[in-house]
């Protein structure tokens, strides 16, 4: 078991579960279904089956692809954690054959026995999300934050130009191999040469949404012209763009809405080195009127992911607080 009071002990299946597994893996069986109540370890059972299929225990065809589906994104992340937990319980030499990606896509790649890829996906892939963006220049990181107001789910992705490399950037920013580790975790990618091209970058963000509908894009008003062109290239020309500033006026409202959402438990995110690093380098400044805005704690800090998150979450809270229009009925 990967967690709980029985963590570290072998997982024992109930008799009916053994019967189901044996029957579903029998010759000629293409579809199998098990319906049981909540709290009966359906997720743990499914994670074990996904891991067995990924390793090719009962089907060793090369380049296997396993789809691990859940009802919503939160459940998909729970299922992913079970899968990762089972992997972490394997011998170290076996663990080295797995590559775990915890970014906007929850994936586990296996290099042994012909190779395979397991993906945890949500059935609500068409749900509406808010895209917060903070594009950077040649030395800056471009960051995007994806926020689902209904569930509180938050994901973030950072992007650097390819030149210089991530290791050299990490050394220059005094963070050692942090950027390389982010890339290995699937939280940071590289694109372009000296700069990140806005159009292809935004198109890549949309691709990683896996079909989720974008309610709006929120970004810095000073990049207006650049983003209009980028959104057209990314197929988002009909999506509203909400222009916000990072100064005292807009910044103060966004900081306060983000704080409230955080304290009210309306922001849920899987462990993210990208976000942890960004928020550790961020501070909040106050003017004499107690207005607030986001700023860097150190000159070499990269707070782009924090800024994008602030924009996305604050806009999500505004949308949730907006009054719902009721239909008007007229009698003839």
Residues 98 and 169 in one domain: no
- Residue 325 — pLDDT band, cuts 50, 70, 90? low
d(CA 97, CA 111): 5
The predicted pLDDT at position 106 comes to: 84
> Percentage of the chain surpassing pLDDT 70?
93
pLDDT above 80 (res 6) = no
Q: Which regions of the chain does DSSP assign to beta strands (E)? A: 64-70, 98-102, 106-110, 116-122, 128-134, 142-148, 153-160, 188-190, 213-220, 241-244, 282-286, 292-296
CA-to-CA dists, residue 194 to 32, 80, 138, angstroms: 51, 35, 6
d(CA 66, CA 56): 11
CA-to-CA dists, residue 293 to 21, 105, 287, angstroms: 55, 31, 9
| Residue 182 domain-assigned (yes or no) | yes
Residues 299 and 224 in one domain: yes
Residues 52 and 169 in one domain: no
d(CA 121, CA 142): 26
The pLDDT tens digits for 161-184 are 999 999 999 999 999 999 999 999
pLDDT above 80 (res 329) = no
CATH of the domain at 257: 3.30.420.240
| Residue 168 domain-assigned (yes or no) | yes
pLDDT above 60 (res 104) = no
d(CA 31, CA 173): 52
d(CA 66, CA 110): 11
Residues 188 and 237 in one domain: yes
∠ Cα 99 124 275 (to 5°):
50
| Residue 156 domain-assigned (yes or no) | yes
Range of the domain at 116: 15-122
The predicted pLDDT at position 110 comes to: 95
| Residue 84 domain-assigned (yes or no) | yes
Residues 27 and 167 in one domain: no
pLDDT above 90 (res 158) = yes
Alpha-carbon dihedral sign for residues 96, 103, 39, 55: negative
Residues 74 and 22 in one domain: yes
Residues 115 and 226 in one domain: no
| Residue 240 domain-assigned (yes or no) | yes
Q: Please give the backbone phi and psi of residue 254, each rounded to the nearest 5 degrees, phi first.
A: -65, -40
| Residue 5 domain-assigned (yes or no) | no
Average of pLDDT values for 61-77?
84
The pLDDT tens digits for 113-146 are 999 999 988 765 446 899 999 988 767 899 999 9
Domain boundary among 122, 156, 187: 122
pLDDT averaged over every residue in the chain: 88
Residues 195 and 305 in one domain: yes
Q: Which two tokens stand for residue 303?
A: 């707070």
Q: Which residues contact 40 (CB under 8 A, 6 or more apart)?
A: none
Domain boundary among 107, 122, 137: 122
| Residue 289 domain-assigned (yes or no) | yes
Residues 112 and 132 in one domain: no
Closest CA to 155 of 102, 116, 199: 102
| Residue 92 domain-assigned (yes or no) | yes
d(CA 3, CA 254): 37
Residues 208 and 313 in one domain: yes
User: Which comes out higher in pLDDT, residue 174 or 229?
Assistant: 174
The predicted pLDDT at position 75 comes to: 80
Tally of structural domains, the chain = 2
Residues 103 and 234 in one domain: no
* Segment of 4-13, 28-37, 216-225, 289-298 carrying the highest mean pLDDT: 289-298
Domain boundary among 122, 140, 159: 122
Q: b/e string for 100-114 if b means 16 or more Cβ within 10 A?
A: bbbbbebbbebeeee
The predicted pLDDT at position 332 comes to: 45
pLDDT above 90 (res 255) = yes
d(CA 270, CA 221): 30
Residues 146 and 286 in one domain: yes
pLDDT above 50 (res 209) = yes
Average of pLDDT values for 254-273?
94
122-125 CB contacts, 8 Å cutoff, 24+ apart: 122/69, 122/70, 122/71, 122/72, 122/73, 122/75, 122/76, 123/69, 123/70, 123/71, 123/72, 124/71, 124/72, 124/73, 125/210, 125/211, 125/212
The predicted pLDDT at position 103 comes to: 59
d(CA 248, CA 225): 23
């Amino acid at each position: 078991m990967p967690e709980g009071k029985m963590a570290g002990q072998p997982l024992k299946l109930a008799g009916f579960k053994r019967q189901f597994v044996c029957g579903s893996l029998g010759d000629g069986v293409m579809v199998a279904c098990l319906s049981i109540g909540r709290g009966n370890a359906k997720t743990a059972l499914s994670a074990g089956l996904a891991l067995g299929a990924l390793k090719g225990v009962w089907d060793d065809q090369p380049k296997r692809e396993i789809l691990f589906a859940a009802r919503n994104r939160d459940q998909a992340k729970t299922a992913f954690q079970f899968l990762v937990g089972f992997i972490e319980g394997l011998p170290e030499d076996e663990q080295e054959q797995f590559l775990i990606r915890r970014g906007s896509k929850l994936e586990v790649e296996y290099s042994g026995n012909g190779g395979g890829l397991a993906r945890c996906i949500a059935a609500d892939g068409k749900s509406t999300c808010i895209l917060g963006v903070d594009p950077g220049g040649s030395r800056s990181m471009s960051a995007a934050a994806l926020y689902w107001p209904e569930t509180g789910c938050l994901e973030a992705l950072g992007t650097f130009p390819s030149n210089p490399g991530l290791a050299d950037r990490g050394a220059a920013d005094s963070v050692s191999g942090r950027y390389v580790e982010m890339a290995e975790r699937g939280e940071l990618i590289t694109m372009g040469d000296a700069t990140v091209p806005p159009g292809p970058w935004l198109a890549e963000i949309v691709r990683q949404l896996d079909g989720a509908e974008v309610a709006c894009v929120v970004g810095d008003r000073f990049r207006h012209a650049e983003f209009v062109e980028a959104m057209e290239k990314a197929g988002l020309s009909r999506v509203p763009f909400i222009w916000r500033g990072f100064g005292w006026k807009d910044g103060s409202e966004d900081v306060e809405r983000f704080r409230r959402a955080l304290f009210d438990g309306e922001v849920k995110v899987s462990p993210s080195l990208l976000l942890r690093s960004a928020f550790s380098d961020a501070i909040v400044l106050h003017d004499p009127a107690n207005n607030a805005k986001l700023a860097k704690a150190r000159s070499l800090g990269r707070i782009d992911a924090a800024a994008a998150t602030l924009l996305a979450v604050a806009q999500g809270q505004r949308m949730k607080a907006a009054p719902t229009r009721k239909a008007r009925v007229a009698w003839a």
